[in-house]
């Protein structure tokens, strides 16, 4: 009895049972289906809201633990991100739009067209200004994220006006991108240019940050079936709002009026309507902008101070970069260009004016022409097809690649190798570093098709007054070059014939040696194949990547060597 009483008097020390999946990763993440149920949104609205707010799916460390022991593949989000989305006021606007569409559909089915018109006029709209200020609290944050913004906006500006994308969105993207290009011209901020089959790649210095973007070629595009334009349109809505904020800040830093206005009054030509004259002349990129004070905002931008007694690390490199930037800003000063109709007018005008040059073209090609082709002050005429005898004296005829290579090298290159009808030198990318074996020579100047260490180009002013002696000397040079080429071809043919004549028939001993060498190579290849089969699975993937990388490097080296041989043969 005493033992039973002691057991009844003892306090209970039983602990609370811990249940599985009630803490840790199981409560940190939430599936997409649960998020849709919590926010009461459709899948399309949820995707749009996530894109606007910058919320993306997360990958948990242990998926089975998050999914409560199940291995079913699901899309997970962070629980705090979903709670963050629940306080967004755009979500209520999305619900209003959904209800508005239901009302319009019901009124249309009933035949109440006056109600449909009223609902269309009062369609609910939302703005993204507060989201831009929330995601980019500082201007530098927006500039660092400007690459994707510019690429997508330039892509939308080149899209055809089809059902996939509204026309208003295409025009807005085109207007904002043209405004950004005008700022680059006014600030002389262009640094690199590269042309590829995908489009044009540019690099500009925006408030000390290198921004790289691409511009597609002006070609006829088709509507791809495997691209979801709804998602791209949502990204474009966000990026156009962001680019508007950035353009306003950049224009204010240079003292330009925003929205931009032309400094000179333009007359609508016969090739555009009166209401579209301003947009057409702005898109030509060949008109000066109006400043806040009411005058013409053109000229050299403010240059950074150069302190010669800097002792910080990298001071010499920074000083060299500043000197190169100043040289690029004045690269085409004093040069007047005329563009033929087959050249990319907008791209060339943007590049030339960003480096201080003047551009014009035929009025039949489009609005924005400044002077005619017969102007005696023209120093360079850019053509992209062979010319006959219709050449004007006093100017150099070059291909469009000459302009791009001049910008990348930082100096005016010789125009002889870029003459119309001749194969131009290789157009190497300034965004990639080349080794000494990939180009002619081993110095840094050989990384580009031409360098400033070559002979200095003639003065553009002297090109206008060629003398008769210079023309005769040029003709003699052409004749001597043709004669040298004929002699070289004859010598090569004689050498090949001599080698074929002196070539001996293979002997039996040579055939046996060749057979043994071939058998040894086959045995080595078989042994290598067996060794590859014995590799573990985790090492086999790494080995395949290494082999692929080596083959790609060998292929690129072979292509560069072939280009080098072609240049040596044509030189």
Share of the chain above pLDDT 70, in %: 78
Domain-embedded: residue 13: no
pLDDT digits (tens, 9 = 90+) for 466-503: 443 444 344 445 455 555 555 555 555 555 455 554 54
Mean pLDDT of 398-420: 92
Query: DSSP assignment, residue 402?
Result: H
Domain-embedded: residue 297: no
Range of lowest pLDDT (61-70, 82-91, 229-238, 343-352): 61-70
Kindly report the CATH number assigned to the domain that includes residue 335.
3.40.50.10190
Domain-embedded: residue 247: yes
Q: Verify that 351 and 409 share a domain, yes or no.
A: yes
Q: Verify that 350 and 422 share a domain, yes or no.
A: yes
- Could you give the CA distance from residue 19 to residue 242 in angstroms, rounded to a whole number? 47
Q: Which domain holds residue 107?
A: 92-121
Q: Verify that 232 and 215 share a domain, yes or no.
A: yes
Reference 53, options 67, 66, 35, 34; nearest CA is 35
Q: Write down the pLDDT at residue 481.
A: 52
Q: Write down the pLDDT at residue 382.
A: 94
Mean pLDDT of 69-81: 89
Mean pLDDT of 319-346: 89
Does residue 268 or residue 556 have the better pLDDT? 556
Q: Write down the pLDDT at residue 67.
A: 86
pLDDT tier at 352, thresholds 50, 70, 90: very high
Q: Which residues of 194-211 are buried (b: 16+ CB within 10 A; e: fewer)?
A: bbeeebbbbbbbbeeeeb
Q: Write down the pLDDT at residue 186.
A: 93
pLDDT at 562 over 70: yes
Show which of 265, 283, 301 is a domain's final residue: 283
Residue 358 bridge partners (DSSP):
336
Range of lowest pLDDT (40-54, 229-243, 511-525): 511-525
Q: Verify that 138 and 271 share a domain, yes or no.
A: yes
Domain-embedded: residue 236: yes
Range of lowest pLDDT (211-215, 248-252, 274-278, 550-554): 274-278
Which range, 301-305, 365-369, 427-431, 565-569, has the best average confidence (pLDDT)?
A: 427-431
Cβ–Cβ under 8 Å, residues 378 and 332: no
Helix (H, G, I), strand (E, B) or coil at 52: helix
Helices (H), 286-416: 315-329, 345-354, 400-409
Q: Verify that 141 and 240 share a domain, yes or no.
A: yes
Q: Write down the pLDDT at residue 2.
A: 52
pLDDT at 348 over 90: yes
Q: Verify that 71 and 98 share a domain, yes or no.
A: no
Q: Write down the pLDDT at residue 13.
A: 60
Domain-embedded: residue 488: no
pLDDT at 313 over 80: no
- Could you give the CA distance from residue 539 to residue 26 in angstroms, rounded to a whole number? 33
pLDDT tier at 314, thresholds 50, 70, 90: low
State the total domains in the chain: 5
Q: Verify that 349 and 396 share a domain, yes or no.
A: yes
Cβ–Cβ under 8 Å, residues 257 and 292: yes
Query: DSSP assignment, residue 58?
Result: B
pLDDT at 273 over 80: no
Reference 432, options 455, 456, 408, 450; nearest CA is 408
Q: Verify that 345 and 273 share a domain, yes or no.
A: no
Domain-embedded: residue 241: yes
pLDDT digits (tens, 9 = 90+) for 104-144: 999 999 999 999 999 999 999 899 999 999 999 999 999 99
Written as one string, the DSSP assignment of 238-299 is: HHHHHHHHHHHHHHHHHTB-SS--BSS-----TTS-STTHHHHHHHTT-SPBBBTTSSB--S
pLDDT digits (tens, 9 = 90+) for 279-288: 888 889 988 8
Mean pLDDT of 427-437: 77
Does residue 438 or residue 557 have the better pLDDT? 557
Q: Verify that 391 and 425 share a domain, yes or no.
A: yes
Domain-embedded: residue 460: yes
Q: Write down the pLDDT at residue 4.
A: 52
CA angle 566, 567, 568 (to 5 degrees): 90
pLDDT digits (tens, 9 = 90+) for 523-540: 888 888 888 888 887 788
Give the max Cα distance, the chain. Answer: 136
Q: Write down the pLDDT at residue 412.
A: 92
Q: Verify that 204 and 142 share a domain, yes or no.
A: yes
pLDDT tier at 450, thresholds 50, 70, 90: very low
Reference 379, options 299, 472, 459; nearest CA is 459
- Could you give the CA distance from residue 298 to residue 291 in angstroms, rounded to a whole number? 9
Q: Write down the pLDDT at residue 444.
A: 40
pLDDT digits (tens, 9 = 90+) for 180-224: 999 999 999 999 999 999 999 999 999 989 999 999 998 777 777
- Could you give the CA distance from residue 68 to residue 89 in angstroms, rounded to a whole number? 33
Reference 185, options 346, 340, 304; nearest CA is 346
pLDDT digits (tens, 9 = 90+) for 244-262: 999 999 999 999 999 888 8
> What is the pLDDT of the chain when averaged over all its residues?
81
Q: Write down the pLDDT at residue 161.
A: 79
pLDDT tier at 457, thresholds 50, 70, 90: very low
pLDDT digits (tens, 9 = 90+) for 151-175: 999 999 998 877 678 899 999 999 9
Show which of 283, 312, 341 is a domain's final residue: 283
Q: Verify that 78 and 96 share a domain, yes or no.
A: no
Domain-embedded: residue 67: yes
Tokens of 317: 């490199």
pLDDT tier at 463, thresholds 50, 70, 90: very low
pLDDT at 300 over 90: no
CA angle 36, 42, 44 (to 5 degrees): 115
Q: Verify that 61 and 146 share a domain, yes or no.
A: no
Show which of 121, 137, 166 is a domain's final residue: 121
């Amino acid at each position: 009895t005493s033992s039973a009483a002691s057991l009844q008097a003892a306090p209970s020390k039983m602990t609370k049972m811990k249940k599985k999946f009630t803490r840790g990763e199981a409560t940190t993440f939430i599936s997409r289906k649960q998020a849709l149920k919590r926010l009461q949104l459709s899948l399309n609205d949820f995707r749009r809201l996530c894109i606007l707010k910058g919320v993306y799916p997360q990958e948990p460390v242990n998926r089975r633990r998050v999914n409560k022991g199940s291995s079913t593949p699901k899309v997970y989000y962070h629980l705090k991100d979903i709670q963050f989305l629940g306080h967004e006021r755009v979500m209520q606007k999305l619900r209003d739009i959904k209800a508005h569409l239901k009302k319009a559909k019901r009124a249309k089915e009933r035949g109440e067209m006056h109600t449909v018109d009223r609902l269309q006029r009062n369609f609910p709209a939302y703005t993204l200004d507060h989201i831009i200020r929330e995601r980019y609290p500082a201007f530098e944050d927006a500039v660092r994220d400007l690459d994707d913004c510019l690429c997508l906006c330039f892509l939308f500006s080149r899209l055809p006006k089809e059902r996939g994308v509204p026309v208003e969105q295409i025009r807005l993207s085109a207007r904002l991108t043209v405004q950004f290009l005008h700022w680059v011209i006014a600030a002389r901020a262009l640094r690199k240019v590269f042309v590829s089959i995908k489009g044009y790649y540019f690099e500009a210095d925006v408030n000390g940050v290198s921004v790289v973007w691409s511009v597609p070629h002006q070609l006829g595009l088709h509507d791809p079936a495997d691209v979801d334009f709804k998602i791209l349109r949502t990204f474009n809505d966000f990026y156009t709002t962001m680019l508007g904020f950035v353009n306003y800040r950049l224009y204010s830093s240079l003292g330009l009026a925003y929205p931009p206005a032309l400094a000179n009054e333009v007359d609508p030509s016969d090739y555009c309507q009166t209401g579209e004259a301003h947009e057409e002349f702005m898109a030509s990129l060949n008109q000066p902008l109006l400043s806040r004070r009411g005058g013409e905002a053109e000229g050299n931008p403010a240059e950074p101070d150069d302190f010669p007694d800097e002792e910080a690390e990298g001071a010499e490199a920074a000083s060299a970069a500043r000197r190169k930037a100043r040289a690029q800003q004045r690269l085409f000063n004093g040069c007047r260009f005329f563009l033929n109709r087959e050249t990319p007018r907008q791209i060339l005008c943007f590049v030339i004016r960003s480096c201080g040059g003047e551009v014009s073209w035929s009025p039949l090609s489009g609005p924005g022409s400044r002077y005619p082709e017969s102007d005696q002050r023209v120093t360079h005429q850019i053509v992209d097809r062979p010319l006959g005898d219709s050449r004007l004296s006093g100017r150099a005829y070059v291909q469009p690649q000459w302009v791009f290579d001049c910008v990348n090298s930082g100096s005016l290159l010789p125009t002889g190798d870029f003459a119309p009808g001749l194969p131009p030198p290789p157009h190497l990318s300034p965004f990639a570093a080349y080794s000494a074996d990939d180009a002619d020579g081993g110095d840094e100047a050989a990384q580009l098709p031409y360098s400033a260490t070559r002979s200095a180009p003639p003065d553009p002013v002297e090109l206008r007054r060629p003398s008769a002696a210079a023309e005769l000397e040029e003709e003699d040079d052409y004749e001597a070059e043709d004669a040298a080429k004929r002699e070289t071809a004859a010598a090569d043919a004689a050498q090949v014939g001599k080698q074929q004549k002196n070539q001996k028939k293979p002997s039996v001993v040579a055939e046996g040696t060749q057979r043994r060498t071939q058998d040894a190579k086959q045995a080595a290849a078989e042994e290598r194949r067996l060794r590859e089969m014995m590799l573990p699975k985790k090492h086999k993937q790494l080995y395949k990547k290494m082999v692929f990388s080596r083959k790609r490097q060998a292929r690129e080296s072979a292509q560069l060597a072939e280009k080098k041989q072609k240049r040596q043969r044509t030189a």
